[in-house]
Structure 1
Amino acid sequence: MLTAGAALLFLLFYFVSPTVAPDKHIHTEGDTTHSHGNQSIRFEDLLVKAKEKISPEQAARIGMLENAVVRGDIKEQQIHVYHQLARFWSDSARIFEPYAWYTAEAAKLENSEKSLTFAAHLFLNNLMTEGEPAMQNWLASQAKVLFDKALVLNPANDSSKIGLGACYLFGNISDNPMQGIMSIRSVVEKNPDNVYGQMMLGLGGKKSGQYDKAIERFLIVVKKDPENLDAIFNLAECYDIHNEKANAIKWYEIAKEKVPVAAAKEALSKRIAELKR
């Protein structure tokens, strides 16, 4: 599910600087794989951009690890090197794309449900706060491969079914978003208390402009999980867009009480005041 940290990041950027998307990715264009419209993104291009942000000494270290992957003929050795690369990009460079990519490469070799779903959710969580279509497509494409592999190992995993549906719904990887909706609905119809599935359907309704349906889903989520800040904020925003001012104010007030960052509280107070005028 979208993490609390990702939800808070979205809140901050939406309210504090609504016209500027957070620069949490390295954006570039390539000429193959995972295209959307005329845009396409390749990991090789993302990696080149990432390496521009590290020191020559760090680049030399990364080069040695990359060569070790190529030379390694033992699966366990390759997995170990991929984890080393992932740790570097996460802890030292703090750049998401190569961290997630190498985590995913290790997971594919390990081929355990736990490692595959962990890597898949790395991509999916970032997909849910990404605004650029080409990057949405790239993130969703990576996540889909991992969810597909995880579902081969455990076809009954509802979280993976929902995650896979979200890739179709939010990642521009198919001309038929209903493919994603049906995957998620199959879980929710079986278990209406599945908060993750209800949340994704709510976000899907919001994305498609079906605010009544989105509100219905978000209300289910906050009833089951009253501390879900992401659902609370999205509920308030849907009421706001739908011009239901009283309900928008109510839920913005609840969001303001729960959000821990002063700048977000201030921005929420400003929006509440505007609605009350």
Structure 2
Amino acid sequence: MLKSKQYILIASVGLLMVILYNLDIKGLIKPKEDRGMQTTATSTPENVSDISYKSVSAISKEMISASLVSDIEKLETSALNESGSELINLQKQIAQKWDDVNQPAAAAFAYESIAKSESNYNNWLITGDRFTDGYQNFKDTTATAGLLNKAIEAYNKALEINPKSLDAQTGLGVAYVTGTQNPMQGIQLLLGVVKEEPKNLKANMNLGMFSMKSGQFQKAVDRFKTVLDVKATPEAWFYLGTSYENLGMKPEAILAYQKSKELAADPSLTEFVDRKIKELNN
């Protein structure tokens, strides 16, 4: 009976994650390797679909107003006839336009173009971060593998320039865990980050998420507590509450859920948490 109940609780984690993502609560978002691993490992997602700016921007344009689409297309047309510094300037404008309307997948291609022309650590890191936001949030899930592979490529470029970058290692680690056949390589990268920087927010947040997915809820609790020591966010409190719930720690779960509700101030989350607290009190 106990095992059956545990399986149900573990399965519920996936549903709770979907609910939180749909509420658009930000901040999840995600290493220094062990001594036997290369910093810029080469694992990539299998069955990577062809992906291009044209296909991604077409979908992204469906999400914004016609006037904003017109502004972006004017810049795109101008970029076709330019090169050198003027082309880079136009790509920066295009990237900013996409950032302004929260379309990171499309913005990522503009940042990638900039990074190819001005290859430096910061340009490749922001490219990786935008592709990461893209594969985590893009409307068309068939593009996920392609966007994830692009993120891996960008982080590896950043690490070629700055091998000690914890931000690039974290992004790379999350990508490996999320979409390759070698998730342990990603876990090791993230563990390396927190060994180097124990309070690293992104690495701890993602290690907590991965602990939840594997049913290691006490480890998840420890990770989310570390995150909350650095920054109190609604998603960290929410996942802490979920972890406590799965450990049977009802009072602690209720408190964490309440904190999440207070910080998020989202009607949908408030409704969900109120139902959850009512269930836990019964």
Aligned to 2:204: 198
Among candidates 78, 89, 99, match of residue 80 of structure 1 = 89
Among candidates 41, 46, 54, match of residue 56 of structure 2 = 46
* Alpha-carbon separation, structure 1, partners of 2:223 and 2:139: 22
Among candidates 87, 96, 100, match of residue 108 of structure 2 = 100
Among candidates 254, 258, 264, match of residue 263 of structure 2 = 258
Cα deviation for residue 208 of structure 1 reads 2.8
The one-letter code of the counterpart of 2:244 is Y
Aligned to 2:152: 144
Asked if the contact 1:123–1:139 (Cα under 8 Å) also holds between the matched residues in 2, the reply is yes
* Alpha-carbon separation, structure 2, partners of 1:108 and 1:271: 49
Among candidates 219, 228, 232, match of residue 227 of structure 1 = 232
Task: Count residues with an aligned counterpart.
Answer: 247
Cα deviation for residue 94 of structure 1 reads 5.7
Aligned to 1:216: 222
Share of identical aligned residues, percent?
26
The higher relative CO (CA closer than 8 Å, separation ≥ 6) is in 2
Cα deviation for residue 166 of structure 1 reads 0.9
* Alpha-carbon separation, structure 2, partners of 1:216 and 1:89: 36
Q: Which runs of 4+ in 1 moved over 6 A?
A: 10-13
* Alpha-carbon separation, structure 1, partners of 2:177 and 2:76: 34
Aligned to 2:176: 168
The one-letter code of the counterpart of 1:146 is A
Per-residue CA deviations over 1:141-200 (Å, capped at 9, x if unaligned) read 222222111112211111111111111112x1x201011111111121233232332222
Aligned to 1:154: 162
Q: Secondary structure at the match of 1:155?
A: coil
The one-letter code of the counterpart of 1:79 is I
Q: Secondary structure at the match of 1:227?
A: coil
Unaligned runs of 5+ in 1: 1-9, 23-33
Asked if the contact 2:105–2:134 (Cα under 8 Å) also holds between the matched residues in 1, the reply is no
| Residue 123 (str. 1) matches residue 128 (str. 2) | no
* Alpha-carbon separation, structure 2, partners of 1:129 and 1:100: 13
What TM-score comes out, normalization by structure 2 length?
Answer: 0.72
Q: Secondary structure at the match of 1:40?
A: coil
Cα deviation for residue 66 of structure 1 reads 3.7
Q: RMSD over aligned Cα, in angstroms?
A: 3.4
Cα deviation for residue 21 of structure 1 reads 8.6
The one-letter code of the counterpart of 2:157 is K
